[in-house]
């Protein structure tokens, strides 16, 4: 019951997933400001004797740790006077100017303070940020990162899901645990799974810092990204670190040959209670200058855990884009967020990803949930296993490289099977137990851990402890693979390990493709306008197009051939020569299209044409009138089929019908497109509707004005569901059309019933 005094639409809106999202009012004093904070400083820089004396309104004596680190290690005094003197509006225009090279802007950023950088990007609208991002990102070829976790920390499923993620093309995979002591088991399982089917995919196991380093040194992992930095000093300290401790950690990771990026994102200071009434963007500009200053190659940035909070604030999503732009402008690899799910609304989710998909990004998602939402131990991602095909189709729609490649069912099943077999073989060879084949089966076919009958949590803990206690390393894993005959996987894993020796994947935005390192050094983004920068190759374009289950003309013809044999047993159409104009006022002519029953046999709703015709005829007969069937060969258009039938009809009323089921009632004295009743929604037109159509045509012939037949529709996207099929089918109709061909009288015999002359 509608509530009085309330437009019912609001009640309906209340029920949409969107209304589960809560939105916050802009409140700069309390930190709820995307780009205009109450206490954001004016950009400014004073150098004295080559050292920073005042930065963004704060004198050196008053610098907090972050200011000090940025002033010491980020700002280049050679560039700063020139860069700071440029009006922000001018720099903003340079960011979107194809004639200003990326390298020039990167050079200027070295001389800009956080407030200056923030002031520049805040001037760009969302389209300009997207464009500038495409121009400024570091590596030319886009990539993507997957989360691979499950709710049970089941190693067999981790191996299968890692192999699956690798098969779909993810350049990095990241795992974490439900139970921290399972880190070693997770690391070994994903390391093995990621070696299936492809040479060397970067892998990380997100855990406590010291343990993460130990796991990396055992050779299981190759990158890390959990080194968080913050934009206010109090938040940094509460995060239990300082810029120096994090920078030390950055050097420590590099000293172990581990690729590393920092993590920062809007909203962390707000969530942790020390925002200093500064905007999301300004605080993030501080974080990013800090990261460049530390000498990390890249950042995981764009809200990250704070993205859902940023998305509650007006302009928050634009701010996330702006901070990602700052990251790439500062020449950092950007794993551009699109990680934590920012909304319950699928429309907001799809809109969130689009700018990144069309602009490209070093890693579009810094954690695309390749597994189901409930299996994601980080929390659900913006995109998850459930929605992966939506993403693949978005790539195809926009011909944009989102880093993924569609895979067919046999291919995915094969890598999953292989992954569990390799892992089971490795565990057995290492004396870590043998897995029941039933467990392997349950994992191979399972979409998520709810469906598996595999390792129990207690067993995983024992396994993980054993790997750690026995100091098992990747050397042991390689030997186990070799011993069990998994030579291909051992080669894949070794090829990645060898790259650690040369340190090639430590450079900015490095990923491993086909066993080779591709980074901003040997694949730099050289975008300078249309025709430059990253473009889909013919091969890559074909890969992105190849989603599953697409229609083609052959498929339509094959289906028609099958239906032809079935219809042959139900109906016979006999051509009786040219159709004459009728004189009997008690007849209704049914004008069938060229392919009706000759090439095509079924409507879009799936009704065979013999049933459709029988219902039309029965409907006419129910009012005591006779049907006469003629085949029209000069047109396949519904209106003209109907009008031509009406002109041949003794009553002046005719029905036109196409093979796909679209039908019309027409009068002989009407204009072509001014029909009496149109049945345009063939996919939802039932046999009962066709019978009533016949009845109404007869009623009109009798001079009545019957109630029009309503085919109720519930807002289905008919075009999306049927138009590809419609176009293919209709082309078969039009292919049979002959200009000037005269109508033919058709005798229809229902093989279990009566003949209609």
Partner 1 sequence: MTDPVPPQALGTGDYPLSEKRPDLVRTATGKPLDSLTLDAIAAGAVGLADLAITPQALTMQAAIARAAGRETLARNFERAAELVGVPQDVILETYELLRPGRAKDKQTLLDAATRLRRDYGADRIAAFVEEAAAVYERRKLFTYRF
Which of 482, 598, 734, 749 is close enough to bind partner 1 by CB under 8 A? 482
Minimum CB distance to partner 1 smaller for 256 or for 348 = 256
Q: Given the complex with partner 1, which of 217 and 354 has the nearer CB atom? A: 217
Min CB(510)–partner 1 separation in Å: 9
Task: Write out the two tokens for 209.
Answer: 């810092």
What's the CA gap between 323 and 285, in Å, rounded? 7
Judged by CB under 8 A, the residue of 100, 494, 559, 724 near partner 1 is 494
The CB-of-604 to partner 1 minimum distance in angstroms stands at 55
**DSSP β-bridge partners for residue 592:** 631, 657
| Nearest distance, CB of residue 199 and partner 1, angstroms | 13
Based on CB atoms, which residue is closest to partner 1, 239 or 533? 239
Among the residue ranges 44-52, 140-148, 485-493, 527-535, the one whose residues contact partner 1 (CB under 8 A): 485-493
CA 638 to chain centre: 39
- The residue from 159, 165, 195, 250 that contacts partner 1 (CB under 8 A) is 250
* Token representation of residue 694: 């016949």
- In the complex, the smallest distance separating the C-beta of residue 363 from partner 1, rounded to whole angstroms, is 18
Strands 58-59 and 51-55: antiparallel
DSSP state of 524: B
User: Pattern 317-356, binding to partner 1, x per CB under 8 A?
Assistant: --------------x-------------------------
* Residue 520-559 contact track with partner 1, rule CB under 8 A, x = bound: xxx-------------------------------------
CA distance linking residue 258 with residue 270, whole number of Å: 31
Which of the residues are catalytic? 145, 147, 174, 225, 300, 339, 366
User: SS3 of 603, please?
Assistant: coil
62 contact partners, CB below 8 Å, separation of at least 6: none
In the complex with partner 1, the residue whose CB is nearer, 254 or 736, is 254
Residue range at the interface with partner 1 (CB under 8 A); choices 141-149, 292-300, 632-640, 713-721: 292-300
Residue 266: name the closest of 330, 311, 296 by CA: 311
Residue among 103 and 550 whose Cβ is closer to partner 1? 103
Q: What's the per-residue H, E or C state across 269-318?
A: HHHCCCCCCCCHHHHHHHHHHHHHHHCCCEEECCCHHHHHHHCCCCCHHH
663 three-class SS: strand
Tokens in use for 86? 């440029």
Q: Interface residues for partner 1 in 436-465 (CB under 8 A)?
A: none
Nearest approach in angstroms of CB 72 to partner 1 is 7
70 versus 579: smaller Cβ distance to partner 1: 70
How far is the C-alpha of 485 from the C-alpha of 740, rounded, in Å? 72
d(CA 690, CA 708): 12
Distance of closest approach, residue 489 Cβ to partner 1, in angstroms? 11
Q: Give the one residue of 1, 20, 25, 501 binding partner 1; rule: CB under 8 A.
A: 501
From 58, 96, 100, 254, residue interacting with partner 1 (rule: CB under 8 A): 254
User: Residue from 36, 38, 100, 252 that binds partner 1 (CB under 8 A)?
Assistant: 252
Report the residue from 23, 244, 398, 445 that binds partner 1 according to the rule CB under 8 A.
244
DSSP-derived pairing of the beta strands 626-631 and 587-592: parallel
Member of 81, 273, 503, 735 binding partner 1 (CB under 8 A): 503
Q: Does 734 bind partner 1 (CB under 8 A)?
A: no
Are residues 353 and 378 in contact, defined by beta-carbon separation less than 8 angstroms?
no
List binders of partner 1 among 201-220 (CB under 8 A): 209-210, 213-214, 217-219
Q: Measure the CA–CA gap between 175 and 161, rounded to whole angstroms.
A: 11
What gap in Å lies between CA 58 and CA 173, rounded to an integer? 41
Q: Which is nearer to partner 1, 252 or 718 (CB)?
A: 252
Minimum distance of partner 1 from residue 485's CB (angstroms): 12
Closer to partner 1 at the Cβ: 39 or 256? 256
Least Å distance, CB 55 to partner 1, is 15
Report the site for partner 1 in 255-284 (rule: CB under 8 A).
255-257
d(CA 357, CA 144): 10
State the number of binding residues for partner 1 (CB under 8 A). 72
Least distance from partner 1 to the Cβ atom of residue 47, Å: 18
Residue closer to partner 1 by CB (options 185, 297) is 297
242: left (phi over 0), alpha (psi -120 to 50) or beta: beta
Distance from C-alpha of 362 to C-alpha of 368, rounded to nearest angstrom:
13
- Of residues 668-727, those binding partner 1 (CB under 8 A): none
Contacts of partner 1 in 70-89 (CB under 8 A)? 72-74, 76
Q: How far apart are CA 288 and CA 298, in angstroms?
A: 9
What DSSP designation does 73 have?
A: I
Q: List the x/- string, 101-140, binding to partner 1 by CB under 8 A.
A: --x--xx---------------------------------
Among 312, 473, 563, 598, binds partner 1 (CB under 8 A): 473
Q: Which of residues 34-73 bind partner 1 (CB under 8 A)?
A: 64-65, 68-69, 72-73
- Dihedral through CA 212, CA 218, CA 223, CA 224, nearest 10? 10
Among the listed residues 93, 123, 500, 541, the single contact to partner 1 using CB under 8 A? 500
For the stretch 527-535, contacts whose Cβ atoms lie closer than 8 Å and that sit 24 or more positions apart, written own/partner, are 527/98, 527/102, 527/134, 527/135, 527/140, 528/98, 528/99, 528/101, 529/98, 529/99, 533/134, 533/135, 533/140, 534/140, 534/141, 534/142, 534/360, 534/401
């Amino acid at each position: 019951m509608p509530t009085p005094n309330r437009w019912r639409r609001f009640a309906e809106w209340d029920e949409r997933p969107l209304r589960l999202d809560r939105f916050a009012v802009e409140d700069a004093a309390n930190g709820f400001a995307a780009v205009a904070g109450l206490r954001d400083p004016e950009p400014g820089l004073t150098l004295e004797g080559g050292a920073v004396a005042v930065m963004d309104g704060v004198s050196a004596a008053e610098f907090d740790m972050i200011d000090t680190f940025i002033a010491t290690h980020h700002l280049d005094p050679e560039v700063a006077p020139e860069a700071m003197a440029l009006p922000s509006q001018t720099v903003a225009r340079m960011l979107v100017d194809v004639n200003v090279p990326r390298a020039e802007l990167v050079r200027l950023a070295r001389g800009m303070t956080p407030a200056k950088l923030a002031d520049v990007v805040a001037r760009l609208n969302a389209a300009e940020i997207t464009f500038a991002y495409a121009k400024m990102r570091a590596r030319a070829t886009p990539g993507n990162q997957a989360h691979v976790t499950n709710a049970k920390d089941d190693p067999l499923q981790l191996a299968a899901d890692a192999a699956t993620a690798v098969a779909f093309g993810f350049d990095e995979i990241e795992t974490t645990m439900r139970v921290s002591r399972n880190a070693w088991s997770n690391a070994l399982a994903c390391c093995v799974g990621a070696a299936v089917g492809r040479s060397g995919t970067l892998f990380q196991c997100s855990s406590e810092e010291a343990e993460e380093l130990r796991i990396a040194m055992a050779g299981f992992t190759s990158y890390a990204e959990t080194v968080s930095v913050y934009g206010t000093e109090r938040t940094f300290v509460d995060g239990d670190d300082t810029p120096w401790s994090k920078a030390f950690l950055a050097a420590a990771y590099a000293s172990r040959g581990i690729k590393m990026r920092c993590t920062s994102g809007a909203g962390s200071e707000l969530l942790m209670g020390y925002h200093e009434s500064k905007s999301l963007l300004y605080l993030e500009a501080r974080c990013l200058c800090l990261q460049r200053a530390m000498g990390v190659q890249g950042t995981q940035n764009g809200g990250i855990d704070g993205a859902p909070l940023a998305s509650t604030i007006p302009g928050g999503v634009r701010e996330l884009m702006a901070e990602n732009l700052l990251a790439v402008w500062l020449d950092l690899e950007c794993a551009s967020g699109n990680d934590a799910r920012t909304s319950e609304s699928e429309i907001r989710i799809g809109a969130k990803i689009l700018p990144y998909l069309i602009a490209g990004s070093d890693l579009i998602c810094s954690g695309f949930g390749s597994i189901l939402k409930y299996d994601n131990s980080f929390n659900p991602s913006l995109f998850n296993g459930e929605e992966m095909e939506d993403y693949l189709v978005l790539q195809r729609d926009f011909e944009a490289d989102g880093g993924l490649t569609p895979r067919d069912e046999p291919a995915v099943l094969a890598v999953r099977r292989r992954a569990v077999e390799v892992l089971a073989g490795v565990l057995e060879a290492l004396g870590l137990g043998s897995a029941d084949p039933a467990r392997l089966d349950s994992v191979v076919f399972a979409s998520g851990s709810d469906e598996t009958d595999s390792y129990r949590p207690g067993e995983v803990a024992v396994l993980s402890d054993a790997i750690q206690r026995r100091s098992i390393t990747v050397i042991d894993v390689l030997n186990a693979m070799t011993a069990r005959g998994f030579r291909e996987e051992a080669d894949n894993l070794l090829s990645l390990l060898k790259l650690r020796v040369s340190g090639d994947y430590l450079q900015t935005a490095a990923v491993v493709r086909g066993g080779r390192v591709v980074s901003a050094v040997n694949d730099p983004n050289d975008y300078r306008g249309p025709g430059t920068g990253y473009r889909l190759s013919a091969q890559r374009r074909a890969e992105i197009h190849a989603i599953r289950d697409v229609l083609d003309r052959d498929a339509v013809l094959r289906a028609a051939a099958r239906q032809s044999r079935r219809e042959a047993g139900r109906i016979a159409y006999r051509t009786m020569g040219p159709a004459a104009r009728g004189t009997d006022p008690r007849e209704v002519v049914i004008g069938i299209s060229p392919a009706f029953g000759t090439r095509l046999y079924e409507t879009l709703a799936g009704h065979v044409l013999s049933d459709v015709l029988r219902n039309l005829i029965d409907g006419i007969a129910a009012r005591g009138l006779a049907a006469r069937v003629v085949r029209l060969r000069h047109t396949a258009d519904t209106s003209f089929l109907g009008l031509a039938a009406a002109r041949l009809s003794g009553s002046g009323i005719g029905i036109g019908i196409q093979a796909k089921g679209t039908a019309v009632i027409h009068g002989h004295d009407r204009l072509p497109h001014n029909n009496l009743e149109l049945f345009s929604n063939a996919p939802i037109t039932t046999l009962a509707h066709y019978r009533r159509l016949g009845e109404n045509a007869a009623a009109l012939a009798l001079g009545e004005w019957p109630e029009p037949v309503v085919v109720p529709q519930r807002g289905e996207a008919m075009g999306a569901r049927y138009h590809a099929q419609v176009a293919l089918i209709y082309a078969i109709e039009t292919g049979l059309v002959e200009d000037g061909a005269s109508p033919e009288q058709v005798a229809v015999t229902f093989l279990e019933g009566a003949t209609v002359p």
